């Protein structure tokens, strides 16, 4: 007797994928949804999305004072309160997708809150994790902090996808804050539209296709990269000098501000004003100067920069050899 298995029926046990979600403008949510399309369409895969709700929620658009007042806790990885999660911690997932945005060169506060939540260790311990970053273009040190928090909960980082604003750095230093403070993607006529392009957002479906195939084959158990050869990440180590300088200043000034009070405290306001003036000077001097120096020293720095690029692009890499298979 022959058994006819309908094509839509899963053959083996279903694979369960946990996705953590938080997005203010909808940019990261749109990228995540596009990536999830192939997984959702597969009857052998169950996708569970947990949307984070900080208490109180962060505003969008931001006021200038709220925006800068968020840097001390972001830089020090101090978690805000979260509304109760819809998970018990006893669920068993085969794969965890962790999309996050960067706030002040650190993972955004809502994602930090999730990773420091007692349930995170229960849910993520021993699990393969794929991080998906969507930010302006400075994410190198945020991902180092993310690696630390993942290690703290015993998770295994197997892939990292990064989508950034492709406009020149100096332009994004104007367009990104203008977007976040006005809510408009092109608040300044003549300057580029802020954020990750529509094309890059749509093409993130390739990662979902590759993850679906890997889950079908059980390759998530190998704890090795599943998204190699898909141009998952392009690191720009020239920004590392600026990232290091800014991280140090966020950390030190953040300590001072935290000593002055909690977010919103009146005693923080004069210090914040002083810091913003300092930061603007830093951005207008260190960023262009370090980029200029590196351009002048290019012949001597080539090898060092190539090593750093390769290191920060781990574990997924910037290779393109599987694009023809998944990017169509």
Query: Which residues contact ligand FMN (rule: CB under 6 A)?
Result: 23-25, 27-28, 67, 70, 101-105, 134-139, 176, 180
Q: Are strands 95-100 and 81-82 parallel, antiparallel or unpaired?
A: unpaired
Picking from 320, 318, 298, 287, the residue whose alpha carbon sits closest to that of residue 138 is 287
Rounded CA separation 108/60 (Å): 14
Rounded CA separation 304/75 (Å): 27
> For ligand FMN, which is the closer residue by CB, 146 or 180?
180
> For ligand FMN, which is the closer residue by CB, 70 or 130?
70
Shortest Cβ distance from residue 139 to ligand FMN (Å)? 6
Partners of 81 in beta bridges:
55
Picking from 187, 183, 159, the residue whose alpha carbon sits closest to that of residue 322 is 159
Shortest Cβ distance from residue 196 to ligand FMN (Å)? 7
Shortest Cβ distance from residue 25 to ligand FMN (Å)? 3
> For ligand FMN, which is the closer residue by CB, 51 or 224?
51
> For ligand FMN, which is the closer residue by CB, 75 or 153?
75
Shortest Cβ distance from residue 205 to ligand FMN (Å)? 18
In Å, how far are 127, 180, 210, 275, 299 from 271, measured between CA atoms? Answer: 42, 22, 48, 6, 42
Rounded CA separation 3/167 (Å): 56
Secondary element (H or E) of residue 135:
strand 128-135
Shortest Cβ distance from residue 28 to ligand FMN (Å)? 3
Picking from 134, 201, 124, the residue whose alpha carbon sits closest to that of residue 158 is 124
Contact (CB, 8 A) for 235 and 325: no
Contact (CB, 8 A) for 210 and 226: yes
Instruction: Look at residue 50 and give its three-state secondary structure.
Output: strand
> For ligand FMN, which is the closer residue by CB, 93 or 139?
139
> For ligand FMN, which is the closer residue by CB, 124 or 141?
141
DSSP tag of 220: G
Contact (CB, 8 A) for 101 and 124: no
Shortest Cβ distance from residue 268 to ligand FMN (Å)? 15
> For ligand FMN, which is the closer residue by CB, 144 or 213?
144
Shortest Cβ distance from residue 11 to ligand FMN (Å)? 36
Phi then psi dihedrals of residue 106, to 5 deg = -135, 160
> For ligand FMN, which is the closer residue by CB, 128 or 187?
187
Helix, strand, coil percentages (3-state) for the chain, rounded to 5, are 50, 15, 35
Shortest Cβ distance from residue 29 to ligand FMN (Å)? 6
């Amino acid at each position: 007797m022959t058994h006819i298995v309908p094509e839509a029926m899963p053959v083996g046990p279903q694979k369960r994928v946990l996705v953590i979600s938080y997005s203010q403008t909808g940019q990261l949510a749109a990228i995540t949804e596009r990536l999830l399309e192939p997984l959702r369409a597969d009857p052998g895969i169950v996708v569970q999305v947990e949307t984070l709700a900080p208490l109180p929620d962060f505003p969008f658009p931001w006021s200038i004072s709220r925006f800068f007042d968020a840097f001390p806790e972001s830089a020090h990885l101090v978690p805000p309160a979260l509304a109760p999660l819809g998970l018990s911690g006893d669920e068993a997932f085969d794969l965890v997708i962790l999309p996050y945005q960067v706030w002040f060169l650190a993972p955004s506060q809502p994602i930090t809150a999730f990773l420091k939540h007692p349930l995170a260790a229960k849910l993520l311990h021993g699990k393969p994790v794929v991080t998906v970053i969507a930010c302006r273009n400075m994410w190198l040190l945020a991902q180092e902090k993310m690696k630390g928090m993942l290690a703290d909960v015993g998770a295994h980082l197997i892939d990292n996808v990064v989508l950034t604003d492709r406009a020149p750095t100096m332009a994004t230093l104007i367009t990104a804050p203008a977007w976040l403070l006005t809510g408009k993607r092109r608040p300044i006529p003549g300057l580029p539209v802020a954020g990750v392009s529509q094309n890059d957002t749509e093409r993130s479906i390739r990662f979902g296709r590759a993850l679906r195939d890997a889950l079908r084959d059980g390759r998530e158990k190998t704890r090795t990269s599943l998204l190699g050869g898909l141009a998952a990440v392009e690191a720009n180590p020239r920004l590392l000098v600026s990232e290091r300088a800014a991280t140090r200043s966020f950390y030190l000034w953040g300590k001072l501000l935290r000593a002055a009070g909690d977010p919103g405290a009146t005693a923080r306001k004069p210090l914040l004003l002083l810091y913003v003036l300092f930061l603007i000077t830093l951005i207008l001097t260190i960023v262009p100067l370090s980029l200029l120096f590196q351009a002048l020293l290019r012949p001597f720095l080539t090898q060092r920069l190539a090593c750093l690029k390769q290191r920060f692009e781990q574990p997924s890499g910037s290779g393109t050899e599987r694009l023809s298979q998944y990017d169509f």
